[in-house]
Every structure is written in structure tokens, then in C-alpha cells.
Amino acid sequence: MAAPETSTAAVPSLYTNNALRNAFGGVLSFFILLLIGVMAFSIRLFSVIKYESVIHEFDPYFNYRVTQFLAKNGIYEFWNWFDDRTWYPLGRVIGGTVYPGLTLTAGTIWWLLNSLNIPLSVETVCVFTAPIFSALASWATFLLTKEVKGTGAGLTAAALLAMVPSYISRSVAGSYDNEAVAIFALIFTFYLYIKTLNTGSLFYATLNSIAYFYMVCSWGGYTFIINLIPMHVLLCIVTGRFSSRLYIAYAPLVVLGTLLAALVPVVGFNAVMTSEHFASFLVFIILHVVAFVYYIKGILSPKMFKVAVTLVVSVGLAVCCAVIAVLIALVASSPTKGWSGRSLSLLDPTYASKYIPIIASVSEHQPPTWPSYFMDINVLAFLVPAGIVACFSPLSDSSSFVVLYIATSVYFSGVMVRLMLVFAPAACITSGIALSQSFDVFTRSIKFQLPGISSNTEVDAAETSSATAEAQNDAVKTEKSEETSKNRPSKKSKKKEKEEKPSTKAKAEKRLIALPLDSSVISLLLLILLGAFYVVHCVWAAAEAYSAPSIVLTSHSHDGLHVFDDFREAYAWLRHNTDVDDKVASWWDYGYQTTAMANRTVIVDNNTWNNTHIATVGTAMSSPEKAAWEIFHSLDVKYVLVVFGGLVGYPSDDINKFLWMVRIGGGVFPHIKEPDYLRDGQYRIDSQATPTMLNCLMYKLSYYRFVETDGKGFDRVRQTEIGKKYFKLTHFEEVFTTHHWMVRIYKLKPPKNRIRGKTKKSKSKTSSASSRAKRSGMGKKNPWH
């Protein structure tokens, strides 16, 4: 008698238990999310703890400078800001050429804090913007994955994204770059798209357009969204998944999104003019045609419909052909086929190296190597295929989107290492799905087969089934929302789905139950091990690989940590000991840093919008001293800054970048010929080097008096003795060299006094005349003459 009684006591508690578990699950997942956010934030603080709270690398310095300007002068001044500190003498209209999302975000945070009387400096806000937004990004990932595959998968994906090394590399504290904000915007836009697709709510569609607008503000990568979503819409139409929800998810995005995107000055009319946006409009038209066809189909009898179709198709084809022909003619008439250089190099990976060396010269535009995949997404690379499989059972609108997302982003990441960043969230989402589903299966099969509770298997079965129901609650949310929403389109297809879904699920459950106990325990342990490995790798990557701010270098020697702070030493020197209007020439890599840290005018910077200007500097660097002096003098340059790693072995110095100076310079000014600098197809600075190489300005500025350091002139980067050891500078004088010689600053000597140098002048005149004659034969040499 005792047994039944206890069980009856348990019966009513079963239901309350369930409700309680639901509530408990909600609270638990809330706290898990909170902790994921905290983790995403804190794992990115290694750079602050190991180094200092400082802006990193190159581009962040520009963003920081813009934010400072915004904080100081306000938004209207910002839109109209003409920056005369850069691209001298051209200048740059900052307000119209930057993606303002990041700057406005940080500026708003700063303004908000200051109006609450929390006087944080602009720098502090900028340093911590990226970690804050990576916490937001992991929450957005949770939302997106929850829409696709349920809460469990969402939490797993959020945890994975919070520490994926690829994203950490761009969002450590101090890495104040567009991508930090943009990845959040990207994921959130996708989430809102999926949400709209699942609910068919116009509210979410509007939010989606606004999120898209934020993305357009933040990063040029928004073209990925405006191409991926149309692709998905097309996929849905082709696979017969057209519904009014799809229409609501897409049509407002294109209309509102394009209008909003055109508001961003840097995009402007590009939002309708360039080919990157073409796909979205095409799909927009197709969507309307399909919707119209469905509508006609509804009101006509099948026979009439057939007639109408033949009529419309024959007329429509003719019109379409005409329109497409015109379009193609228009597009083909532009030299780049309406695509921007970077987009084109995505479609044709060899494009940049063939035509635009300046894009190819950026290391992050190179294709990644296999190890870099393992470095950046680690074990996710193995989980992704499993996640894709999980997305196919069952395939819904949202899971097909994830599959499409990962497929395209894998391709893009294969072309440019920088786009690994777009791939990482997709990898996290699919791996999250894979992990959560396999955990689901294993724990369920363990629960069924544990000997201790075999007697009340049935009760457990009921419980677990309800638990799984809970977990898969959202997977079926599609139907629920359909049911609740007032307009219920295409009831048929939905019904079909409904019927097939429970059956497949039931089948799956039955099949999964059959997993043996020991193997599922072992698999579970292996999965946990895999996860632990991932965590260890991510923490290592965050702490060691990606936390260095790159303006400060450290090395461990036997007597402790050695700090190389040469860059800031040089910039501080420039800031305090040169005239405020002096112009500093350097290779474009250091432009942003020079304007931000030294507050001096530069000739070229990392914006690289004017190839000719960069080529001029490249030409000067690869010319002999006198010609270089003339070019620099014509540009009103007073100081020349070169980065030299030969003394301490800093590999990314100007000599190693020299090939790009020659290539870019030679691309515009043909008298710079790359073969002149090459010996056996290699850039060499040792005794085998060509005389052109040994006489060019870059060589001279780098190695000036270098031989006196050790008597031999041994370059630790190139691992060789330099070719030309003793030489004097005639047109430049050394004014500053940093402690480890990493940055050397030279001053242009003033032009010779005319009267004193009269006899010399006549000589030089003839030589310059002859050189001019040569020059005219060779084409343009210096655009500023």
C-alpha cells in the first residue's frame, strides 16, 4: 500500500515541479547569461592587466582621436570636421569618410557618464568599449541561437562566442576598432531577422532595419548582411518556403534599411548605386513577383492560372531580358564593374595582388593559413560540421539561415584573414548547436539507462520528454507564433511541417534512446574534455597571443621583463620637441599613430584612400637621397620617421615593408622599377644587394651609423651583415633615435644658400636638367612639381 500512496503524493507535485523547473531554468539561464557577459568582458582585460590601459595598434588610434574630437567639439562639428593634420596637403573630410558607429557609441557612453558626473576620460571609455560590446555580442548570440535551436544551444553558443579567440583578437580592451562594435551589430541584426522570420511581426522588422542601420554606421562589412539576407530569402523562395513572414522579414529591411543606410555620409548614394547592394534589390523584386503569383494563384482556378502563367512568362521574359541587358551594359561600363576594390578582391582573391598592391600589402587582407584556423576558432572547427548536420534535423527557416551564414562566411574567411571575424560567430552558433544537441542526447540516454532509477523509467521518461520539450520549445516556436499571430498564411505548408515534425522528433527520440550507457558516458567526458581544451586555448590566446598592444613590446630575458617602449618615446619626442605645424613623413602604417600620439601633420596614413599620395611617399623612400629630399621638400616635410628593427630584432620594420613601398611607388611612378631592388628575386640588404637598394633613402635612414654599434653592422632581423656600412647623409640629419633604435627621426636639411653655392648650383643644375630630361622620358615622377 505504501508504494501507491507515495506515488500519488508525487503526482500533483509533478506538475508544480515542472512549473518550478521552468521558473528555475529561467533564473538559471539568466544568471548563466550574466556570467557569460562577465566572462566575455573580463577575458579581454588581460591586456590592461599585463600591459596597461592604452589604445592598441594603428586604426584604434585614429578612432580614439576622432572620439576625442567628438567629445570636445560635439556632433555637428564632427560631421563637418575637415582634418588638416593628415594627408597633407590634401587633408581629409573625417565626417564624410568614417563609419561613425563606433565613435558615436563611445562618444555617447562618455557623454552619458559625464552627465552623471562620473568623470571618466575619453581614453578609458574607448579602451573598454570593445569588451563591453563583446559581452553584448555574446548575449545577441544567445538570442540568435535561441531563435534557431532553443535555450540550451543559445547558452552554449553564447559561452563559446564570449571567448572565441578570433573575436578576442579584435576586441581586447584597448582594441578600439570598428569590428568590436560591428560584430555585435551583425549578430543582433541577424537575430532580429530570424525573430521577424519566426514571428512575422512588423515591430521586429522595424527593429531589424534600425539594427541594420547601426551596422551600416559601424563597419563596411554591412555589405555581408545585405547580401546574405537576400541569399537566404532566395533560398527560402526556391525551396518553397515562401510565406508572408518572409515578406515581412525582408521587404521592410530593404526599404527602410536602404533609406537609413543612405543617411550615413560615408555610404550615401552608394546604398543604391554600387553592385554590393544590387542583390538585395533583385531579390526584393523577385519576392514581390512571387508574392503576386501566390496571390493570383489564390484567386484564379488552376486552369486559368496556367493560362495566365504562360501569358505572363512570355511577356515578362522579354521585358526582363531587356532590363537585364541594360543593367549589364550599365554595370559593365564602369571599370570595376561597380564593385569596390575590397569587395572585388573577395570575389576574385587574385584581384588585389594583380591590380591594387595597397590592398594586398595589408597583412590582414592576406588569405589565412590552416594553422590560423586552429588558432582562431580552435575546436570549433571540428564541431561546425556536426552543427550543420544538427541544423538539418529538422531544417527550418532559421536553421537554413545558419547553414547559409556559415557556408558563405567560411568562403570569405578563406579569402581574407580579417574576415575570420565574421566566420567566428557562425562557427560559435553551429558549434553551440552541435554541443548542446549532443549533450542533450548523451545525458538523456544516461538518464534512461542508469540502473538506480530503472524501476521508474516511465516517470523519468515523462519527465525527460517534458524536459526535452522545454529545450526544444523554441525550435517549434515557429508554429506557436504562427498560431498566435492573426494572419495565418499558407496553412497547408505549416500543417505539413507540423505533422512531420513531431513524427521526426519521435523517431529521433526513439533512435537516441538506444545509445548505450558506457559509450554515452565516455562521449560526454570527451566532450567536456574538448570544451576544457577550448577554454584553456582561449584563455591562453587572450592572455598571450592577442593582448599585446603592439605599441609596447616586451621580451623575457634572464633578468626579467624587458620593455621596448620606443614608439611612444619617438611620438612623445615629436610632440614636445617639434613645432606644432611641422610635417612628418613616414610610411602610411604610422600615420594614425603619429597624428594621434604626436599631434603632428602626416603625409599619408592608414586610411589609404589616395594611392598616388602613398606612391609618392613610397617613391621618396625608394629614391636616392637627393631625389627623396626634393620630393619631401616639395611636400613641405620637415621630419622623416623610419622604423628600424635591425638592432633588437623587431621584424615588422620598414625594411621588411620596403617591397610594398617599391611596388606601390612603382605602380604610379614607373621610374621606380622593382627589379632594380631585387637580387635573384629577393630584397637583400647584404653585400649582394643591388646598388639602387643600397642608395635608396630607406636603406640609408635605417642603417645610418648602424655599423658603429657593433663594428660589423649585423642586422638581427635579416640575420646578415649590411651591404653598405659607412656612408654619410647629405640632405638629412639625424635628430632623434629611440633607445632601442626602433624609431629613427631625421630632419630635412634646409635648402642650400643660393649665393654661397653658386658654383655648385650650376653643376647641380646641369645634373638636374639631365635628370629632368630622363624624367620626361620616363613619365611623371613627382606630382608636386
Partner 1 sequence: MAISRYVLLVFTIAMLASTALSDPILTKVDRRIYLTSQIVRIASTLKVENPGPLIMSEVLLAFPELQAKNLAYLMASSHESKGKAKGSVVSLPIKAVNLNDRPSALTFYSVILPKELAAGESFTLDVLAAFTHALRPVPEKITQADIQLVLYGDSVYYLSPYEVKVQSLSVKLPDSKIESYTELENTKVHGSEIKYGPYENLPPFSNSPIAFHFQSNLPFAVAEELVREIEISHWGNVQVTEHYKLIHGGAKIKGEFSRLDFQARPNDRGASAFSFLVAHLPARAHSVYYRDLIGNISTSHLRGDSKKTELMIEPRYPMLGGWRTAFTIGYGLPLQDFLYESEGNRFLNMTFGSPMIELAIDTLILKVVLPEGSSDISAAAPFPIKQWRETKISHLDIGGRPVVVLEKTNVVPEHNQYFQVYYKFSGLSMLREPLMLISGFLFFFAACIGYMHADTSISKSSASYLAKQQWEEVQVLIHKVQNVISRCLATHDNLEASLRDLSRTGDVQACKAARKYADGLLKELSKEMKPLLTSLQAYPSAAQILPKVEELVAKERELQEKVMLKHSTAVEGYERKSGARDIDHRVALLQQKITALKQEVDDLLQFIDDII
Site residues (CB under 8 A) for partner 1? 1, 3-4, 7-8, 10-12, 14-15, 52, 54, 116-119, 455-456, 458-459, 462, 465, 469, 473, 476-477, 479-480, 483-484, 502, 506, 551-552, 563, 565, 568-569, 571-573, 575-577, 597, 705, 708-709, 733-739, 741
CB of 505 to partner 1, least distance (A): 9
Nearer to partner 1, 52 or 364 (CB): 52
Nearer to partner 1, 175 or 738 (CB): 738
Nearer to partner 1, 288 or 739 (CB): 739
Among candidate residues 382, 483, 426, the one with its CA nearest the CA of residue 145: 426
CB of 647 to partner 1, least distance (A): 10
CB of 178 to partner 1, least distance (A): 22
Task: Count the Cβ atoms, other than its own, within 10 Å of residue 17.
Answer: 14
CB of 632 to partner 1, least distance (A): 18
For the range 590-594, what are the long-range contacts, defined as Cβ-Cβ under 8 Å and sequence gap of 24 or more?
Answer: 590/58, 590/641, 590/643, 591/86, 592/58, 592/59, 592/61, 592/62, 592/65, 593/58, 593/61, 593/551, 593/567, 594/641
Gap between the Cα atoms of 679 and 659, Å rounded: 13
Nearer to partner 1, 177 or 566 (CB): 566
Nearer to partner 1, 289 or 459 (CB): 459
Strand (E) or helix (H) holding 70: helix 59-73
Question: Residues 6 or more apart from 336 whose CB is under 8 A from it?
Answer: 344
CB of 91 to partner 1, least distance (A): 24
CB of 467 to partner 1, least distance (A): 12
Nearer to partner 1, 484 or 759 (CB): 484
CB of 492 to partner 1, least distance (A): 17
Nearer to partner 1, 565 or 721 (CB): 565
CB of 120 to partner 1, least distance (A): 9
Nearer to partner 1, 482 or 630 (CB): 482
Helices and strands, counts by H and E, the chain: 36, 13
CB of 116 to partner 1, least distance (A): 8
Strand (E) or helix (H) holding 583: strand 583-585
CB of 626 to partner 1, least distance (A): 19
Strand (E) or helix (H) holding 643: strand 639-643
Nearer to partner 1, 275 or 473 (CB): 473
Report which residue type is found at 529: L
Q: In Å, what is the CA distance from 416 to each residue of 130, 223, 365, 429?
A: 22, 15, 5, 21
Beta bridge partners of 748: 732
Nearer to partner 1, 56 or 277 (CB): 56
CB of 502 to partner 1, least distance (A): 5
CB of 369 to partner 1, least distance (A): 32
CB of 125 to partner 1, least distance (A): 15
Q: Quick one: cell of 706?
A: 648602424
CB of 53 to partner 1, least distance (A): 8
DSSP string, 342-411: HHHHHHSTTHHHHH-HHHHTSGGGSPPPHHHHHHHHTTHHHHHHHHHHHHHTT--HHHHHHHHHHHHHHH
CB of 561 to partner 1, least distance (A): 9
Q: Quick one: cell of 181?
A: 562594435
Task: Give the 3-state secondary structure of residue 696.
Answer: strand
CB of 211 to partner 1, least distance (A): 24
Nearer to partner 1, 650 or 677 (CB): 650
89 CB-side CA count, 13 A: 8
Q: Quick one: cell of 628?
A: 627623396
Beta bridge partners of 744: 642, 737
Nearer to partner 1, 303 or 486 (CB): 486
Gap between the Cα atoms of 428 and 431, Å rounded: 5
Nearer to partner 1, 276 or 625 (CB): 625
Nearer to partner 1, 301 or 557 (CB): 557
Task: Count the Cβ atoms, other than its own, within 10 Å of residue 557.
Answer: 7
Is 566 within 8 Å of 738 (Cβ atoms)? yes
Nearer to partner 1, 348 or 708 (CB): 708
Question: Residues 6 or more apart from 323 whose CB is under 8 A from it?
Answer: none
Nearer to partner 1, 480 or 774 (CB): 480
Q: Quick one: cell of 673?
A: 622599377
Task: Count the Cβ atoms, other than its own, within 10 Å of residue 710.
Answer: 11
Task: Count the Cβ atoms, other than its own, within 10 Å of residue 477.
Answer: 18
Gap between the Cα atoms of 740 and 742, Å rounded: 5
Among candidate residues 41, 52, 40, the one with its CA nearest the CA of residue 549: 52
CB of 184 to partner 1, least distance (A): 25
Gap between the Cα atoms of 382 and 431, Å rounded: 8
Question: Residues 6 or more apart from 250 whose CB is under 8 A from it?
Answer: 229, 230, 233, 283, 284, 287
Place of cell 511541417: 497
Q: For the chain, give the number of residues.
A: 785
How does strand 743-748 pair with strand 92-93? unpaired
Nearer to partner 1, 187 or 574 (CB): 574
Is 736 within 8 Å of 726 (Cβ atoms)? no
